[in-house]
Amino acid sequence: MAAPPKTCKLMVHGDSLSAAYGLKREEGWVTLLEKKLSAEKIDCAVVNASISGETTAGGLARLPALLAQHKPSHVLLELGGNDGLRGLPLNEMNGNLLNMVNQAQQAQAQVLLIGVQIPPNYGRPYNEKFQQTFKEVAKAKRVALVPSLLEKLADSREAFQADGIHPVASAQPALLDTVWPQLKLQLKK
């Protein structure tokens, strides 16, 4: 007899930070999340729909099919880093994030927006506005926010691969620890 389907389904819709870039898939924070849910006895399936290099425009284009296919109860939206690294217009990033949150909410999914930090290449005003974009979207759509997935690693060069952008395997638990408090609150609702 087949096990009953899980009533909770988390879908992580992100970029290389969630796709375990440069690591074995099982070393990434999303796989660690699956283990954490099991350890906490939270009956929840996890789908990792993350793709390295994904922008908010690409994520927006892919989201309708992902929502239809997976029917998630929760969407962890971790996109925007590649927009920032490429210096793309932040008003477009904002619009894409708003649109994705709208679509997820219309599909009856709770949304957790996960922001990121980018290197200072484009100057302080761009970086500040980039960080502010996540806060604006979360406030406008009344969704939970993790301001920066990389917040616990910011001052640790050894936490990153040679590219200085992607965390090493030993840093992945810190990413999960950054997301978990907000996610746990959502799962209790």
Alpha helices, DSSP H, located in the chain: 29-39, 56-70, 81-85, 90-106, 124-141, 172-188
**185 part of a folded domain:** no
Catalytic residue among 13, 15, 16, 18: 16
Looking at the 3D structure of the chain, how many domains does it have? Answer: 1
Reported pTM: 0.95
Task: Measure the CA–CA gap between 182 and 155, rounded to whole angstroms.
Answer: 22
| Total residue count of the chain as it appears in this document | 189
* Residue 189 forms part of a structural domain: no
74 catalytic per annotation: no
Catalytic residue among 13, 70, 74, 166: 166
Q: Residue 111 forms beta bridges with which residues?
A: 75
Rounded-to-integer distance, Cα 48 and Cα 154, Å:
24
Catalytic residue flag (residue 166) = yes
Residue 186 CB contacts under 8 Å (≥ 6 apart), including other chains:
74, 110, 112, 144
Catalytic status, residue 163: yes
In a domain, 3, yes or no: no
Beta strands, E only, 79-154: 110-114, 144-146
**Average pLDDT of the chain?**
94
pLDDT in the model for residue 10: 98
- Quick: pLDDT tens for 32-69: 999 999 999 999 999 999 999 999 999 999 999 999 99
Residue 44 within a domain: yes
**Could you list the residue range(s) of the whole structural domain that residue 46 is in?**
8-177
Inside any domain, residue 43: yes
Is 51 domain-assigned? yes
The reply to whether 110 falls in a domain is: yes
188 phi and psi angles, rounded to 5 deg = -80, -15
CB-CB contact of 80 with 116 (8 Å) = yes
Model confidence at 98, pLDDT cuts 50, 70, 90, reads very high
In the chain the first and final C-alpha atoms are separated, in Å, by: 30
CATH number of the domain that residue 65 is part of: 3.40.50.1110
Q: Is residue 84 part of a domain?
A: yes
**pLDDT for position 155:** 82
